[in-house]
Amino acid sequence: MIIKTDNDTIQNYLSDASNLKGISNRVIIPENKDELKQTITQLYNNNDSFVISGAGTGLTGGKVPDNDVIVSIEKLNEIIEINPQKKYVRVQPGITLLQLEEALNKYDLYLPPNPTEKNSSLGGNVANNSSGSRSFKYGPVRNFVTELAIFLPNGEELKLKRGKNFAKKNKMTLMTEENCLINIEFDQIIPPNTKHSGGYFLKSNMDVIDLFIGSEGTLGVIEEITLSLNQKPDKVLGLLIFFDSEKNLLDFTDSIREKSIVNNEIRIDLNNDIAARLIEFFDENSLELLKDKYPQIPLGSKGAIWIEQEYTEKNENEILEKWFEEISLFTSFADSTWVATNENQHNNFKDFRHQLPLTVNEIIVRNKMRKIGTDTAVPTQFFREYYYYVKEMLKVTQLEYVIFGHIGNSHLHANIFPRNESEMKKALEFYELIIQKSIDLGGTVSAEHGIGKIKKKYLKQMIGESGIESMKKIKNILDPKNLLGRGNLFD
Protein backbone atom coordinates (compact mmCIF):
# COMPACT_ATOMS: atom_id res chain seq x y z
CA MET A 1 0.00 0.00 0.00
CA ILE A 2 1.23 3.47 -0.89
CA ILE A 3 0.30 6.51 1.23
CA LYS A 4 1.01 10.06 0.10
CA THR A 5 0.74 13.05 2.43
CA ASP A 6 3.21 15.50 0.92
CA ASN A 7 1.34 18.46 -0.58
CA ASP A 8 3.37 18.47 -3.81
CA THR A 9 2.82 14.77 -4.52
CA ILE A 10 -0.97 14.87 -4.08
CA GLN A 11 -1.70 17.89 -6.30
CA ASN A 12 -2.58 15.74 -9.33
CA TYR A 13 -5.25 13.95 -7.29
CA LEU A 14 -7.14 17.10 -6.33
CA SER A 15 -8.88 17.82 -9.64
CA ASP A 16 -10.31 16.15 -12.74
CA ALA A 17 -10.81 17.26 -16.35
CA SER A 18 -13.48 19.75 -15.21
CA ASN A 19 -10.68 21.76 -13.49
CA LEU A 20 -12.68 21.82 -10.26
CA LYS A 21 -10.06 21.59 -7.50
CA GLY A 22 -10.56 20.14 -4.05
CA ILE A 23 -8.79 19.74 -0.72
CA SER A 24 -7.21 16.66 0.82
CA ASN A 25 -4.20 15.86 2.96
CA ARG A 26 -3.93 12.13 2.27
CA VAL A 27 -3.93 9.80 -0.74
CA ILE A 28 -4.08 6.04 -0.19
CA ILE A 29 -3.17 3.74 -3.11
CA PRO A 30 -4.07 0.09 -2.43
CA GLU A 31 -2.07 -2.37 -4.55
CA ASN A 32 -4.45 -5.32 -4.33
CA LYS A 33 -8.01 -6.27 -3.41
CA ASP A 34 -7.16 -7.06 0.23
CA GLU A 35 -5.54 -3.68 0.72
CA LEU A 36 -8.56 -1.98 -0.82
CA LYS A 37 -10.90 -3.76 1.59
CA GLN A 38 -8.62 -2.97 4.52
CA THR A 39 -8.45 0.70 3.53
CA ILE A 40 -12.22 1.11 3.18
CA THR A 41 -12.93 -0.71 6.44
CA GLN A 42 -10.44 1.40 8.40
CA LEU A 43 -11.70 4.66 6.97
CA TYR A 44 -15.30 3.71 7.78
CA ASN A 45 -14.47 2.61 11.32
CA ASN A 46 -12.52 5.85 11.88
CA ASN A 47 -15.38 7.97 10.48
CA ASP A 48 -13.07 9.36 7.80
CA SER A 49 -14.88 10.54 4.67
CA PHE A 50 -13.31 9.33 1.44
CA VAL A 51 -13.62 9.65 -2.32
CA ILE A 52 -12.58 7.20 -5.03
CA SER A 53 -10.08 8.46 -7.60
CA GLY A 54 -9.89 6.86 -11.03
CA ALA A 55 -8.08 8.17 -14.10
CA GLY A 56 -9.20 11.76 -13.55
CA THR A 57 -10.86 12.19 -16.96
CA GLY A 58 -14.31 13.05 -15.57
CA LEU A 59 -15.93 16.35 -16.45
CA THR A 60 -18.17 16.92 -13.43
CA GLY A 61 -15.87 16.82 -10.38
CA GLY A 62 -16.95 13.38 -9.17
CA LYS A 63 -13.48 12.42 -7.86
CA VAL A 64 -12.65 15.85 -6.47
CA PRO A 65 -12.21 15.72 -2.65
CA ASP A 66 -13.88 18.06 -0.19
CA ASN A 67 -11.54 17.54 2.75
CA ASP A 68 -11.84 13.81 2.08
CA VAL A 69 -9.22 11.07 2.07
CA ILE A 70 -8.53 10.07 -1.55
CA VAL A 71 -8.48 6.35 -2.35
CA SER A 72 -6.86 5.84 -5.75
CA ILE A 73 -7.52 2.67 -7.78
CA GLU A 74 -4.59 3.29 -10.13
CA LYS A 75 -2.71 0.14 -9.06
CA LEU A 76 -5.78 -2.09 -9.41
CA ASN A 77 -5.31 -2.24 -13.17
CA GLU A 78 -5.09 -5.90 -14.14
CA ILE A 79 -7.02 -7.92 -16.68
CA ILE A 80 -8.05 -10.97 -14.68
CA GLU A 81 -9.46 -13.05 -17.54
CA ILE A 82 -10.33 -12.81 -21.22
CA ASN A 83 -12.61 -15.58 -22.44
CA PRO A 84 -12.69 -15.48 -26.27
CA GLN A 85 -15.14 -18.39 -26.53
CA LYS A 86 -17.77 -16.94 -24.20
CA LYS A 87 -16.85 -13.37 -25.18
CA TYR A 88 -16.33 -11.76 -21.80
CA VAL A 89 -13.56 -10.05 -19.87
CA ARG A 90 -12.99 -9.66 -16.11
CA VAL A 91 -10.96 -6.64 -15.06
CA GLN A 92 -9.96 -4.58 -12.08
CA PRO A 93 -11.39 -1.03 -12.02
CA GLY A 94 -8.15 0.87 -12.66
CA ILE A 95 -7.47 -0.49 -16.16
CA THR A 96 -7.99 2.11 -18.89
CA LEU A 97 -10.09 1.72 -22.01
CA LEU A 98 -6.96 2.00 -24.14
CA GLN A 99 -5.27 -0.84 -22.25
CA LEU A 100 -8.39 -2.97 -22.54
CA GLU A 101 -8.75 -2.31 -26.28
CA GLU A 102 -5.13 -3.25 -26.93
CA ALA A 103 -5.58 -6.54 -25.06
CA LEU A 104 -8.87 -7.37 -26.79
CA ASN A 105 -7.47 -6.66 -30.27
CA LYS A 106 -5.47 -9.89 -30.03
CA TYR A 107 -8.75 -11.81 -29.95
CA ASP A 108 -10.71 -9.63 -32.41
CA LEU A 109 -13.04 -8.64 -29.58
CA TYR A 110 -14.26 -5.20 -28.55
CA LEU A 111 -16.50 -3.32 -26.10
CA PRO A 112 -19.30 -1.91 -28.31
CA PRO A 113 -20.33 1.43 -26.67
CA ASN A 114 -16.90 3.01 -27.38
CA PRO A 115 -16.63 5.75 -24.69
CA THR A 116 -14.70 8.66 -26.15
CA GLU A 117 -11.96 9.15 -23.56
CA LYS A 118 -9.54 6.25 -24.02
CA ASN A 119 -7.53 7.16 -20.93
CA SER A 120 -10.57 6.78 -18.68
CA SER A 121 -10.72 3.86 -16.26
CA LEU A 122 -13.22 1.02 -16.56
CA GLY A 123 -14.26 1.61 -12.97
CA GLY A 124 -15.06 5.21 -13.85
CA ASN A 125 -16.97 4.13 -16.94
CA VAL A 126 -19.17 1.79 -14.90
CA ALA A 127 -19.62 4.28 -12.06
CA ASN A 128 -20.71 6.88 -14.62
CA ASN A 129 -22.60 4.51 -16.97
CA SER A 130 -20.59 6.01 -19.81
CA SER A 131 -21.61 6.15 -23.45
CA GLY A 132 -19.77 6.69 -26.71
CA SER A 133 -20.20 7.15 -30.43
CA ARG A 134 -21.49 3.59 -30.94
CA SER A 135 -24.11 3.97 -28.21
CA PHE A 136 -26.55 4.85 -30.98
CA LYS A 137 -26.69 1.13 -31.79
CA TYR A 138 -25.43 -0.49 -28.60
CA GLY A 139 -26.51 1.76 -25.74
CA PRO A 140 -24.37 2.67 -22.69
CA VAL A 141 -21.82 0.62 -20.78
CA ARG A 142 -24.62 -0.63 -18.51
CA ASN A 143 -25.80 -2.95 -21.28
CA PHE A 144 -22.50 -4.85 -21.19
CA VAL A 145 -21.89 -5.14 -17.43
CA THR A 146 -22.72 -8.72 -16.45
CA GLU A 147 -21.07 -8.97 -13.02
CA LEU A 148 -19.75 -6.62 -10.35
CA ALA A 149 -17.82 -7.14 -7.14
CA ILE A 150 -18.21 -4.14 -4.84
CA PHE A 151 -17.03 -3.11 -1.41
CA LEU A 152 -19.81 -1.29 0.41
CA PRO A 153 -18.80 1.84 2.35
CA ASN A 154 -18.30 -0.25 5.53
CA GLY A 155 -15.91 -2.64 3.73
CA GLU A 156 -18.30 -5.58 3.33
CA GLU A 157 -18.17 -7.26 -0.08
CA LEU A 158 -21.12 -7.57 -2.43
CA LYS A 159 -21.13 -9.76 -5.54
CA LEU A 160 -23.79 -9.17 -8.17
CA LYS A 161 -24.55 -11.09 -11.35
CA ARG A 162 -26.98 -9.82 -13.97
CA GLY A 163 -30.15 -11.88 -14.14
CA LYS A 164 -29.79 -13.36 -10.65
CA ASN A 165 -31.28 -10.76 -8.29
CA PHE A 166 -34.33 -8.67 -9.16
CA ALA A 167 -36.35 -6.21 -7.13
CA LYS A 168 -39.88 -7.28 -6.31
CA LYS A 169 -41.77 -4.21 -7.39
CA ASN A 170 -40.07 -1.52 -5.23
CA LYS A 171 -38.24 -3.78 -2.76
CA MET A 172 -34.79 -5.32 -3.18
CA THR A 173 -32.59 -7.49 -1.02
CA LEU A 174 -28.80 -7.65 -0.93
CA MET A 175 -26.67 -10.29 0.78
CA THR A 176 -23.02 -9.50 1.41
CA GLU A 177 -20.24 -12.09 1.40
CA GLU A 178 -20.14 -11.58 5.18
CA ASN A 179 -23.79 -12.79 5.32
CA CYS A 180 -25.27 -9.42 6.15
CA LEU A 181 -28.81 -9.05 4.78
CA ILE A 182 -29.76 -5.59 3.51
CA ASN A 183 -33.37 -4.78 2.69
CA ILE A 184 -34.07 -1.72 0.56
CA GLU A 185 -37.44 -0.18 -0.24
CA PHE A 186 -37.26 2.49 -2.91
CA ASP A 187 -39.32 5.00 -4.84
CA GLN A 188 -39.18 4.68 -8.61
CA ILE A 189 -37.58 7.48 -10.63
CA ILE A 190 -38.72 7.57 -14.25
CA PRO A 191 -35.71 8.48 -16.42
CA PRO A 192 -36.05 10.74 -19.48
CA ASN A 193 -36.92 8.96 -22.71
CA THR A 194 -33.50 9.67 -24.13
CA LYS A 195 -29.83 8.91 -23.65
CA HIS A 196 -29.20 9.72 -19.99
CA SER A 197 -26.49 9.56 -17.32
CA GLY A 198 -27.68 11.16 -14.14
CA GLY A 199 -28.71 9.74 -10.77
CA TYR A 200 -29.54 6.28 -9.45
CA PHE A 201 -31.34 3.75 -11.62
CA LEU A 202 -34.53 3.06 -9.64
CA LYS A 203 -37.21 1.12 -11.48
CA SER A 204 -39.83 -1.39 -10.38
CA ASN A 205 -38.65 -5.01 -10.77
CA MET A 206 -35.17 -3.83 -11.78
CA ASP A 207 -32.05 -5.97 -11.84
CA VAL A 208 -30.25 -5.03 -8.62
CA ILE A 209 -26.88 -4.73 -10.38
CA ASP A 210 -28.19 -1.62 -12.14
CA LEU A 211 -28.45 0.30 -8.86
CA PHE A 212 -24.65 0.49 -8.67
CA ILE A 213 -23.99 1.21 -12.36
CA GLY A 214 -24.14 4.99 -12.73
CA SER A 215 -24.16 5.65 -8.98
CA GLU A 216 -21.01 7.79 -9.35
CA GLY A 217 -19.00 6.39 -6.46
CA THR A 218 -21.60 7.06 -3.77
CA LEU A 219 -22.93 3.58 -2.90
CA GLY A 220 -19.87 1.35 -3.08
CA VAL A 221 -16.35 0.87 -4.42
CA ILE A 222 -16.06 -1.28 -7.53
CA GLU A 223 -13.29 -3.87 -7.19
CA GLU A 224 -13.99 -6.16 -10.13
CA ILE A 225 -16.00 -5.86 -13.37
CA THR A 226 -17.14 -8.49 -15.86
CA LEU A 227 -18.13 -7.19 -19.29
CA SER A 228 -19.69 -8.98 -22.23
CA LEU A 229 -17.94 -8.34 -25.54
CA ASN A 230 -18.66 -8.52 -29.27
CA GLN A 231 -16.64 -10.13 -32.01
CA LYS A 232 -15.27 -7.50 -34.35
CA PRO A 233 -17.29 -7.34 -37.57
CA ASP A 234 -15.77 -8.52 -40.86
CA LYS A 235 -15.90 -5.00 -42.29
CA VAL A 236 -16.81 -1.48 -41.19
CA LEU A 237 -17.88 1.26 -43.58
CA GLY A 238 -17.20 4.87 -42.62
CA LEU A 239 -18.63 7.88 -44.44
CA LEU A 240 -18.14 11.59 -43.78
CA ILE A 241 -20.92 13.40 -45.62
CA PHE A 242 -21.03 17.16 -46.22
CA PHE A 243 -24.24 19.15 -46.67
CA ASP A 244 -25.17 22.28 -48.56
CA SER A 245 -27.97 23.20 -46.16
CA GLU A 246 -28.75 22.67 -42.49
CA LYS A 247 -32.29 21.53 -43.25
CA ASN A 248 -31.06 18.87 -45.66
CA LEU A 249 -28.63 17.61 -43.02
CA LEU A 250 -31.41 17.29 -40.45
CA ASP A 251 -33.74 15.62 -42.96
CA PHE A 252 -30.98 13.15 -43.85
CA THR A 253 -30.37 12.39 -40.18
CA ASP A 254 -34.06 11.68 -39.59
CA SER A 255 -34.15 9.35 -42.57
CA ILE A 256 -31.06 7.29 -41.76
CA ARG A 257 -31.85 7.20 -38.03
CA GLU A 258 -35.27 5.68 -38.71
CA LYS A 259 -33.88 3.12 -41.19
CA SER A 260 -30.97 2.21 -38.94
CA ILE A 261 -33.12 1.58 -35.87
CA VAL A 262 -35.10 -0.97 -37.90
CA ASN A 263 -32.20 -2.55 -39.79
CA ASN A 264 -29.89 -2.82 -36.78
CA GLU A 265 -32.24 -5.56 -35.56
CA ILE A 266 -31.21 -7.67 -38.57
CA ARG A 267 -28.13 -9.87 -38.43
CA ILE A 268 -25.18 -8.15 -40.13
CA ASP A 269 -24.63 -10.94 -42.68
CA LEU A 270 -28.31 -10.84 -43.67
CA ASN A 271 -28.65 -7.08 -43.98
CA ASN A 272 -27.98 -5.20 -47.23
CA ASP A 273 -29.51 -1.85 -46.31
CA ILE A 274 -28.66 1.27 -44.29
CA ALA A 275 -27.88 0.35 -40.66
CA ALA A 276 -25.59 2.90 -38.99
CA ARG A 277 -23.94 2.03 -35.69
CA LEU A 278 -23.03 5.67 -35.11
CA ILE A 279 -24.38 8.98 -36.43
CA GLU A 280 -22.20 11.94 -35.45
CA PHE A 281 -22.60 15.65 -36.24
CA PHE A 282 -20.25 18.58 -36.96
CA ASP A 283 -21.74 22.03 -37.45
CA GLU A 284 -20.57 24.69 -39.90
CA ASN A 285 -18.37 26.37 -37.27
CA SER A 286 -16.66 23.06 -36.50
CA LEU A 287 -15.81 22.60 -40.18
CA GLU A 288 -14.58 26.19 -40.36
CA LEU A 289 -12.14 25.49 -37.52
CA LEU A 290 -10.82 22.41 -39.33
CA LYS A 291 -10.63 23.65 -42.91
CA ASP A 292 -6.99 24.81 -42.71
CA LYS A 293 -5.89 21.31 -41.76
CA TYR A 294 -8.46 19.69 -44.08
CA PRO A 295 -8.73 21.87 -47.22
CA GLN A 296 -10.69 19.10 -48.95
CA ILE A 297 -13.79 20.10 -46.95
CA PRO A 298 -16.16 21.42 -49.67
CA LEU A 299 -16.56 25.18 -49.78
CA GLY A 300 -20.00 26.21 -48.55
CA SER A 301 -20.50 23.18 -46.29
CA LYS A 302 -23.17 23.88 -43.68
CA GLY A 303 -22.36 20.82 -41.62
CA ALA A 304 -21.30 17.18 -41.82
CA ILE A 305 -22.49 13.75 -40.67
CA TRP A 306 -20.11 10.90 -39.89
CA ILE A 307 -21.55 7.38 -39.95
CA GLU A 308 -20.23 3.88 -39.52
CA GLN A 309 -21.89 0.61 -40.48
CA GLU A 310 -20.85 -2.99 -39.83
CA TYR A 311 -21.20 -5.35 -42.78
CA THR A 312 -19.82 -8.45 -44.47
CA GLU A 313 -17.82 -8.37 -47.68
CA LYS A 314 -20.50 -10.14 -49.70
CA ASN A 315 -22.98 -7.24 -49.29
CA GLU A 316 -20.48 -4.37 -49.56
CA ASN A 317 -21.54 -3.16 -53.00
CA GLU A 318 -25.25 -3.19 -52.18
CA ILE A 319 -24.74 -1.28 -48.96
CA LEU A 320 -22.53 1.33 -50.62
CA GLU A 321 -25.14 1.79 -53.34
CA LYS A 322 -27.90 2.27 -50.76
CA TRP A 323 -25.86 4.87 -48.89
CA PHE A 324 -24.98 6.91 -51.96
CA GLU A 325 -28.56 6.77 -53.23
CA GLU A 326 -29.62 8.18 -49.87
CA ILE A 327 -26.86 10.80 -49.75
CA SER A 328 -27.62 12.08 -53.25
CA LEU A 329 -31.20 12.84 -52.19
CA PHE A 330 -30.07 15.31 -49.52
CA THR A 331 -26.90 17.10 -50.66
CA SER A 332 -25.20 18.39 -53.77
CA PHE A 333 -21.87 17.44 -52.16
CA ALA A 334 -22.45 13.69 -52.54
CA ASP A 335 -19.35 13.32 -54.74
CA SER A 336 -17.26 14.93 -51.98
CA THR A 337 -18.16 12.25 -49.42
CA TRP A 338 -15.15 10.74 -47.66
CA VAL A 339 -15.15 6.94 -47.59
CA ALA A 340 -13.34 4.60 -45.18
CA THR A 341 -13.25 0.83 -45.60
CA ASN A 342 -9.76 -0.04 -44.32
CA GLU A 343 -7.82 0.65 -41.14
CA ASN A 344 -5.78 3.56 -42.49
CA GLN A 345 -8.87 5.33 -43.79
CA HIS A 346 -10.70 4.80 -40.49
CA ASN A 347 -7.71 6.20 -38.63
CA ASN A 348 -7.90 9.30 -40.82
CA PHE A 349 -11.54 9.71 -39.77
CA LYS A 350 -10.56 9.35 -36.11
CA ASP A 351 -7.84 11.96 -36.58
CA PHE A 352 -10.44 14.30 -38.08
CA ARG A 353 -12.79 13.69 -35.12
CA HIS A 354 -10.01 14.20 -32.56
CA GLN A 355 -8.66 17.31 -34.27
CA LEU A 356 -11.77 19.24 -33.26
CA PRO A 357 -11.25 19.05 -29.46
CA LEU A 358 -7.54 19.75 -30.00
CA THR A 359 -8.41 22.92 -31.92
CA VAL A 360 -11.00 23.83 -29.28
CA ASN A 361 -8.33 23.50 -26.59
CA GLU A 362 -6.08 25.87 -28.54
CA ILE A 363 -8.86 28.45 -28.46
CA ILE A 364 -9.33 27.97 -24.71
CA VAL A 365 -5.59 28.49 -24.12
CA ARG A 366 -5.62 31.56 -26.35
CA ASN A 367 -8.64 33.07 -24.57
CA LYS A 368 -7.32 32.15 -21.11
CA MET A 369 -10.87 31.29 -20.08
CA ARG A 370 -12.59 27.94 -19.58
CA LYS A 371 -15.16 26.82 -22.12
CA ILE A 372 -18.84 26.32 -21.34
CA GLY A 373 -20.17 23.09 -22.83
CA THR A 374 -23.60 21.45 -22.81
CA ASP A 375 -24.28 17.72 -22.44
CA THR A 376 -28.05 17.74 -22.91
CA ALA A 377 -30.24 15.42 -24.96
CA VAL A 378 -33.95 15.37 -25.75
CA PRO A 379 -36.46 12.85 -27.13
CA THR A 380 -36.01 12.60 -30.89
CA GLN A 381 -39.47 13.96 -31.70
CA PHE A 382 -38.44 17.26 -30.11
CA PHE A 383 -34.91 17.42 -31.48
CA ARG A 384 -35.50 20.05 -34.16
CA GLU A 385 -37.23 22.38 -31.72
CA TYR A 386 -34.31 21.91 -29.33
CA TYR A 387 -31.68 22.34 -32.06
CA TYR A 388 -33.14 25.56 -33.46
CA TYR A 389 -33.58 26.94 -29.94
CA VAL A 390 -29.90 26.25 -29.20
CA LYS A 391 -28.88 28.00 -32.45
CA GLU A 392 -31.12 31.00 -31.74
CA MET A 393 -29.82 31.42 -28.19
CA LEU A 394 -26.23 31.16 -29.41
CA LYS A 395 -26.96 33.84 -31.98
CA VAL A 396 -28.23 36.09 -29.18
CA THR A 397 -24.99 35.67 -27.20
CA GLN A 398 -22.86 36.69 -30.23
CA LEU A 399 -20.10 34.47 -28.81
CA GLU A 400 -17.69 32.11 -30.56
CA TYR A 401 -18.98 28.51 -30.49
CA VAL A 402 -19.09 25.09 -32.12
CA ILE A 403 -21.76 22.38 -31.97
CA PHE A 404 -20.94 18.72 -32.44
CA GLY A 405 -21.91 15.37 -31.00
CA HIS A 406 -24.15 12.34 -31.10
CA ILE A 407 -27.01 13.50 -33.27
CA GLY A 408 -28.23 9.92 -33.72
CA ASN A 409 -29.17 10.02 -30.03
CA SER A 410 -30.46 13.62 -30.28
CA HIS A 411 -27.55 14.57 -28.05
CA LEU A 412 -25.27 17.49 -28.88
CA HIS A 413 -22.41 19.39 -27.25
CA ALA A 414 -22.59 23.15 -27.74
CA ASN A 415 -19.21 24.60 -26.74
CA ILE A 416 -18.83 28.34 -26.14
CA PHE A 417 -15.45 30.09 -25.89
CA PRO A 418 -15.70 33.25 -23.75
CA ARG A 419 -12.85 35.73 -23.95
CA ASN A 420 -13.55 37.74 -20.80
CA GLU A 421 -15.76 37.84 -17.70
CA SER A 422 -18.58 39.65 -19.50
CA GLU A 423 -18.71 36.93 -22.17
CA MET A 424 -18.47 34.24 -19.48
CA LYS A 425 -21.60 35.67 -17.86
CA LYS A 426 -23.45 35.45 -21.21
CA ALA A 427 -22.22 31.87 -21.73
CA LEU A 428 -23.46 30.81 -18.29
CA GLU A 429 -26.83 32.42 -18.95
CA PHE A 430 -27.03 30.46 -22.20
CA TYR A 431 -26.16 27.25 -20.34
CA GLU A 432 -29.01 27.77 -17.86
CA LEU A 433 -31.47 28.38 -20.71
CA ILE A 434 -30.43 25.18 -22.51
CA ILE A 435 -30.72 23.12 -19.32
CA GLN A 436 -34.27 24.39 -18.78
CA LYS A 437 -35.25 23.86 -22.42
CA SER A 438 -34.02 20.27 -22.30
CA ILE A 439 -36.06 19.62 -19.16
CA ASP A 440 -39.13 21.28 -20.68
CA LEU A 441 -38.87 18.94 -23.67
CA GLY A 442 -38.61 15.85 -21.49
CA GLY A 443 -34.85 15.53 -21.95
CA THR A 444 -31.84 15.24 -19.66
CA VAL A 445 -29.36 17.65 -18.15
CA SER A 446 -26.61 15.04 -18.56
CA ALA A 447 -26.61 12.58 -21.43
CA GLU A 448 -23.17 11.05 -20.86
CA HIS A 449 -20.88 13.03 -18.54
CA GLY A 450 -22.73 12.32 -15.29
CA ILE A 451 -23.65 14.72 -12.48
CA GLY A 452 -20.76 14.70 -10.02
CA LYS A 453 -20.51 17.82 -7.88
CA ILE A 454 -20.84 20.38 -10.66
CA LYS A 455 -24.29 19.49 -12.03
CA LYS A 456 -26.17 18.45 -8.91
CA LYS A 457 -28.38 21.55 -8.87
CA TYR A 458 -29.47 20.68 -12.41
CA LEU A 459 -30.26 17.09 -11.43
CA LYS A 460 -32.55 18.46 -8.73
CA GLN A 461 -34.08 20.81 -11.29
CA MET A 462 -34.83 17.79 -13.50
CA ILE A 463 -36.10 15.19 -11.01
CA GLY A 464 -37.32 17.47 -8.25
CA GLU A 465 -36.92 17.32 -4.48
CA SER A 466 -38.83 14.03 -4.35
CA GLY A 467 -36.36 12.39 -6.75
CA ILE A 468 -33.40 13.60 -4.70
CA GLU A 469 -35.01 12.28 -1.51
CA SER A 470 -35.56 8.90 -3.19
CA MET A 471 -31.83 8.66 -3.87
CA LYS A 472 -30.88 9.88 -0.40
CA LYS A 473 -33.01 7.12 1.09
CA ILE A 474 -30.88 4.51 -0.72
CA LYS A 475 -27.67 6.30 0.24
CA ASN A 476 -28.65 6.35 3.91
CA ILE A 477 -29.21 2.58 3.93
CA LEU A 478 -25.92 1.65 2.25
CA ASP A 479 -23.82 4.48 3.71
CA PRO A 480 -25.54 5.61 6.94
CA LYS A 481 -22.48 7.64 7.99
CA ASN A 482 -22.39 9.42 4.61
CA LEU A 483 -18.64 8.89 4.23
CA LEU A 484 -18.26 7.77 0.60
CA GLY A 485 -18.35 10.26 -2.28
CA ARG A 486 -19.92 13.07 -0.27
CA GLY A 487 -21.32 15.87 -2.40
CA ASN A 488 -21.74 13.79 -5.54
CA LEU A 489 -25.28 13.85 -7.03
CA PHE A 490 -26.75 15.68 -4.03
CA ASP A 491 -25.77 17.50 -0.83
Q: What is the pLDDT of residues 334-356, one digit of tens each?
A: 999 999 999 999 999 989 998 99
pLDDT (tens digit per residue) in 20-56: 999 999 999 999 999 999 999 999 999 999 999 999 9
Q: Concatenate the DSSP letters of all residues of 202-271 into one string.
A: --TT-BTHHHHTTSTTSS-EEEEEEEE-EEPPSEEEEEEEEES-HHHHHHHHHHHHHHHHHHTTS-GGG-
pLDDT for 460 equals: 97
Q: Is pLDDT at 86 greater than 90 in this prediction?
A: yes
- For residue 175, pLDDT beyond 90: yes
- 213 neighbors 129 (Cβ within 8 angstroms): yes
User: Into how many domains does the chain fold?
Assistant: 3
Strands 235-243 and 338-340, bridge-based pairing: antiparallel
Q: pLDDT by residue (tens digit) across 356-397?
A: 988 988 898 888 888 999 999 999 999 999 999 999 999 999
Is the domain of 140 the same as that of 193? yes
Among 159, 166, 196, 198, CA closest to 184:
166
Please check whether residue 434 lies inside any domain of the structure. no
Does position 485 have pLDDT exceeding 90, yes or no? yes
Q: Average of pLDDT values for 3-19? A: 94
Distance CA 308, CA 135 (A): 12
Domain-embedded: residue 105: yes
For residue 143, pLDDT over 90 is answered with yes
Residue 361: per-residue pLDDT: 84
Q: Say what the pLDDT of residue 365 is.
A: 83
- Whether residues 246 and 218 share a domain: the answer is no
> Exposure string (b/e) for 76-91, b if CB count within 10 Å is 16 or more?
bbeeeebeeeeebbbb
pTM to 2 decimal places: 0.96
Final residue belonging to a domain, choices 230, 250, 280: 230
pLDDT (0 to 100) of residue 150: 98
pLDDT computed for residue 177 by the predictor = 98
Q: Establish if 368 belongs to a structural domain.
A: no
Give the model's pLDDT for residue 407.
98
The pLDDT of residue 370 is 87
Instruction: Establish if 438 belongs to a structural domain.
Output: no
Domain carrying residue 292: 232-353
How does residue 19 score in pLDDT terms, banded at 50, 70 and 90? confident
pLDDT at 268: 95
Residues 139 and 194 grouped into a single domain: yes
| Maximum distance among all Cα pairs of the chain, rounded to whole angstroms | 68
- Pick 461 or 368 by higher pLDDT: 461
Q: Based on the fold, state whether residues 316 and 335 are members of the same structural domain.
A: yes
Q: Based on the fold, state whether residues 268 and 289 are members of the same structural domain.
A: yes
474 part of a folded domain: no
Half-sphere exposure of 29 (CA within 13 A, CB side): 14
In this prediction, residues 286-302 reach a mean pLDDT of 96
Percent of the chain with pLDDT strictly greater than 70: 100
429-456: pLDDT as tens digits = 999 999 999 999 999 999 999 999 999 9
Final residue belonging to a domain, choices 307, 326, 353: 353
Q: Is residue 86 part of a domain?
A: yes
Boundary of a domain, candidates 51, 72, 93: 72
Whole-number Cα distances in Å, 138 to 128, 144, 230, 390, 471: 16, 9, 11, 27, 27
Q: Residues 265, 287: one domain?
A: yes
